[in-house]
């Protein structure tokens, strides 16, 4: 092991193993995760050494090869697709696989929206992978505005069939993962027409390819949409349907019936699968940011540059500006980890309520999951870029490992609901609760008794070490944003604007309000989670410092908002800044140990900069030697170079 990292680890003040188990849930959970990872990582099919040297076609083919290995593994070990074990394997596969949409959206849509009879028919086929499906909702012309989708499913009473059509170029399905080449089935979102009337978006199971030779069925035009920023392993596809007939039984009818139409009690129940993925993305944001921080922190402890004192070239992690960039990323990853846990708890609770026939809780779940999906993916995307830049020139090399995280994760701001749109959806719920405080759920409890407090109770840097004091600050910032925006909305409608136009006119303020609310929620949940967890006192000291950094950094980052609320003054902001510097110093000694506790296997990080042993320079040189351009001493294209060099002007 490289000496700098050894030294860093020796001076840590807490037990890394204790934090690993705490983040995993327990010692048994850690053991199980590692066991699952070792099954994958010891399989050569999951190696990625030449990942950036192969073509898109090869990348896709390898994706399918890995899919086959993963499926075999799950069959051998009896791991079900809806189990925690599969979710762990999913994260560890190192890359999205072409059949993931089958597992995360196709099966769950049938399970959530199918009748008992439909589930009996389709789930065994899908779970045994006799059919492979995707979730085909987005069209070339519309992704966000689902009511605007154009695909039609028209019920033909005489044949008891739906006739599914893409009537225009813009109605083509566009983007669904695995649609282009992999899947032979899809759940398709289409406008239901029955007895001449349109009843809005419903979900239909449609076969797309032959189960014999995988050729597209008659009336089906299908393919890959071409290269993208990331997700190269996945064949996101297009699909045009021309008078494709499917049996009546293929409309998912748990909540609505066709023919003599019976509507669902809550029409948004059809959107349930999207909500479940939004919930998952909160935890994924934590994983991605934790991985990026691990790379950047380890590298920064190894990398020496310039001098603070003459003759002493320190690790760049000793520069306060470097700490100011990176330690908040560690803190954010941990904050999102606890937010992810919260989201899974509330999701399970709402699912059981839905199971018992109570659909009202989906509105709250939608409000919270849409807001947190946007907040955590936005922040973590920005965080990955901060980590990358903190690694200087080597951060720009593919050897750093950042590219894979960045290019794939960038999409999370868009898929499963574009983030601005998701913030606005969450805000819709927030402002409803503001107008009817009695309806406000626990996450918005401060709206029930809104108290505009006059003054923040902070007189020294010690005062900003108090969880309750910090939570109040975030609560007051959110309240101030929400109440001023609500006033603006009221004024706009008072002077004659209709509600929708007023909403659009005030939408920038609305966005600030919902972001402030999400931030408040994350801070509060983080601190409450820590309070409830059992841990040794050295670990508690470290975790407290990191949580305090998260909150104080958030105040500094948005000082304008906090000052504008009138609740805080400039002197107090300066105390916050002083506290941040104190916390950076406190965390510095444990920074490497904290990222070690994220416990990423080197084969997951695939980073010359962030490997556990810190052997950065040898790994970079080994990486360079693997460049295809280095296969020969003189490259074959020298023929052009020679002509340039030998030609006369």
Ligand X SMILES: CCCCCCCCCCCCCCCCCCCCCC(=O)SCCNC(=O)CCNC(=O)[C@H](O)C(C)(C)COP(=O)(O)OP(=O)(O)OC[C@H]1O[C@@H](n2cnc3c(N)ncnc32)[C@H](O)[C@@H]1OP(=O)(O)O
Catalytic residue positions, numbered: 416
The binder of 420, among ligand FAD, ligand X, none, by C-beta within 5 to 8 A per type, is ligand FAD
Q: CB 33 → ligand X: shortest distance, Å? A: 13
Sign of CA dihedral 213, 214, 218, 221: negative
Q: Are 391 and 293 in contact (CB under 8 A)?
A: no
For ligand FAD, the closer CB: 144 or 360? 144
Q: CB 448 → ligand FAD: shortest distance, Å? A: 29
CA 625 to chain centre: 34
E strand intervals along 310-456: none
Q: Are 367 and 426 in contact (CB under 8 A)?
A: yes
Q: Maximum CA pair distance of the chain?
A: 90
For ligand X, the closer CB: 98 or 395? 98
User: Residue 254 interacts with ligand X (CB under 6 A)?
Assistant: no
Q: Are 473 and 460 in contact (CB under 8 A)?
A: no
Three-state SS at 522: helix
How close are the terminal C-alpha atoms of the chain, in Å?
55
Among residues 417, 407, 367, which one has the least CA distance to residue 384?
A: 407
Helices first, then strands: H and E counts in the chain: 23, 9
For ligand X, the closer CB: 500 or 646? 500
Per-residue tokens: 210: 């032959």
The binder of 408, among ligand FAD, ligand X, none, by C-beta within 5 to 8 A per type, is ligand X
The binder of 605, among ligand X, ligand FAD, none, by C-beta within 5 to 8 A per type, is none
For ligand X, the closer CB: 23 or 551? 23
User: Residue 364 interacts with ligand X (CB under 6 A)?
Assistant: no
Among residues 206, 202, 205, which one has the least CA distance to residue 261?
A: 202
Among residues 289, 290, 251, 294, which one has the least CA distance to residue 270?
A: 251
For ligand FAD, the closer CB: 137 or 572? 137
Residue 217: DSSP 8-state: P
The binder of 275, among ligand FAD, ligand X, none, by C-beta within 5 to 8 A per type, is ligand X
The CA distances from residue 72 to 99, 181, 233, 319, 399, in Å, are 14, 21, 19, 49, 30
For ligand FAD, the closer CB: 131 or 479? 131
Contact residues toward ligand FAD (CB under 6 A) are: 101, 135-138, 142-144, 175-177, 231, 236, 411, 414-418, 420-421, 424
User: Residue 144 interacts with ligand X (CB under 6 A)?
Assistant: yes
The binder of 236, among ligand X, ligand FAD, none, by C-beta within 5 to 8 A per type, is ligand FAD
Q: Which residues contact 473 (CB under 8 A, 6 or more apart)?
A: 456, 551, 555, 562, 567, 568
What residues between 400 and 419 interact with ligand X by CB under 6 A?
Answer: 404-405, 408-409, 415-417
What does the radius of gyration of the chain's CA atoms come to, in whole angstroms?
27
Q: CB 179 → ligand FAD: shortest distance, Å? A: 7
User: Residue 274 interacts with ligand X (CB under 6 A)?
Assistant: yes
User: Residue 149 interacts with ligand X (CB under 6 A)?
Assistant: no
User: Residue 394 interacts with ligand X (CB under 6 A)?
Assistant: no
Query: Which of 59, 91, 217, 225 is in the footprint of ligand X by CB under 6 A?
Result: 91
User: Residue 287 interacts with ligand X (CB under 6 A)?
Assistant: yes
User: Residue 428 interacts with ligand X (CB under 6 A)?
Assistant: yes
Per-residue tokens: 212: 């014999």
- Rounded CA-CA distance 337/343 in Å is 10
User: Residue 142 interacts with ligand X (CB under 6 A)?
Assistant: no
Summarize the annotated binding site for FAD as residue ranges.
Answer: 138, 177
Parallel, antiparallel, or unpaired for β 185-194 and 133-136?
Answer: parallel
User: Residue 436 interacts with ligand X (CB under 6 A)?
Assistant: no
What residues between 152 and 181 interact with ligand X by CB under 6 A?
Answer: 177
Query: Which of 118, 138, 332, 582 is in the footprint of ligand X by CB under 6 A?
Result: 138
Which residues of this protein are in contact with ligand X, per CB under 6 A? Answer: 91, 94-96, 135, 137-138, 143-147, 177, 268, 271, 274-275, 284, 287-288, 362-363, 366, 404-405, 408-409, 415-417, 421, 425, 428-429
């Amino acid at each position: 092991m490289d000496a700098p990292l050894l030294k860093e680890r020796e001076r840590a003040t807490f037990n890394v193993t204790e934090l690993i188990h705490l983040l995993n849930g327990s010692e048994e959970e850690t053991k199980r995760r590692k066991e699952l990872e070792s099954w994958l990582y010891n399989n050569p099919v999951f190696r990625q050494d030449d990942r950036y040297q192969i073509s898109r076609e090869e990348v896709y083919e390898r994706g399918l090869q890995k899919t086959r290995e993963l499926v075999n593994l799950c069959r051998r070990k009896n791991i079900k697709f809806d189990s925690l074990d599969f979710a762990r394997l999913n994260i560890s596969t190192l890359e999205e696989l072409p059949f993931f949409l089958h597992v995360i959206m196709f099966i769950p849509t049938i399970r959530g929206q199918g009748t008992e009879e439909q589930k009996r028919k389709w789930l065994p086929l899908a779970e045994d992978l006799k059919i492979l499906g995707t979730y085909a909702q987005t069209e070339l012309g519309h992704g966000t505005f689902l009511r605007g989708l154009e695909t039609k499913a028209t019920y033909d009473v005489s044949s008891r069939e739906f006739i599914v059509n893409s009537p225009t170029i813009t109605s083509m399905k566009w983007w669904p993962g695995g649609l282009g080449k992999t899947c032979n089935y899809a759940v398709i979102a289409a406008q239901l027409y029955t007895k001449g009337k349109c009843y809005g978006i419903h979900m239909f199971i449609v076969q797309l390819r032959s189960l014999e030779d995988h050729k597209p069925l008659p009336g089906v035009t299908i393919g890959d949409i071409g290269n993208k920023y990331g997700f190269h392993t996945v064949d996101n596809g297009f699909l045009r349907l021309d008078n494709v007939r499917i049996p009546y039984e293929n409309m998912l009818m748990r909540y609505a019936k066709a023919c003599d139409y019976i509507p669902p009690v809550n029409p948004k129940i059809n959107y349930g699968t999207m909500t479940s993925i939004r919930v998952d993305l909160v935890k994924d944001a934590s994983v991605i940011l934790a991985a990026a921080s691990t790379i950047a922190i380890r590298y920064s402890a190894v990398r020496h540059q310039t001098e603070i004192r003459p003759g002493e070239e320190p690790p760049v992690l000793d520069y306060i500006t470097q700490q100011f960039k990176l330690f908040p990323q560690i803190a954010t990853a941990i904050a999102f980890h606890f937010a992810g846990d919260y989201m899974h708890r509330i999701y399970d609770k709402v699912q059981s309520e839905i199971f018992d026939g109570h659909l009202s809780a989906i509105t709250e779940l939608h409000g919270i999951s849409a807001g947190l999906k946007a907040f955590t993916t936005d922040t973590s995307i920005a965080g990955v870029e901060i980590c990358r830049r903190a690694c200087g020139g080597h951060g720009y090399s593919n050897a750093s490992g950042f590219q894979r995280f960045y290019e794939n994760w960038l999409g999370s701001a868009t898929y499963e609901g574009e983030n601005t749109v998701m913030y606005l959806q969450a805000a819709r719920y927030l402002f409803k609760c503001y107008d009817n405080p009695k309806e406000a759920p626990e996450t918005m409890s401060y709206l029930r008794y809104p108290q505009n407090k006059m003054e923040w109770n902070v007189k020294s840097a010690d005062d900003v070490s108090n969880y309750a004091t910090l939570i109040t600050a975030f609560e007051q910032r959110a309240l101030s944003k929400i109440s001023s925006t609500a006033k603006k909305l009221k004024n706009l409608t008072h002077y004659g604007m209709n509600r929708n136009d007023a909403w659009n006119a005030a939408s920038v303020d609305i966005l600030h309000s919902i972001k402030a609310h999400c931030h408040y929620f994350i801070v509060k949940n983080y601190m409450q989670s820590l309070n409830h967890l059992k841990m040794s006192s050295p670990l508690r000291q470290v975790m407290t410092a990191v949580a305090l950094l998260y909150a104080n950094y958030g105040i500094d980052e948005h000082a304008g908002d906090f000052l504008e609320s009138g609740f805080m003054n400039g002197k107090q902001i300066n105390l916050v800044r002083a506290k941040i510097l104190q916390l950076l110093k406190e965390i510095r000694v444990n920074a490497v140990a904290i990222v070690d506790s994220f416990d990423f296997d080197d084969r997951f990080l695939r980073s010359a900069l962030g490997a556990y042993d810190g052997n950065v320079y040898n790994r970079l040189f080994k990486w360079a030697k693997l460049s295809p351009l280095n296969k020969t001493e003189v490259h074959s294209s020298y023929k052009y170079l020679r002509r340039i060099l030998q030609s006369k002007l």
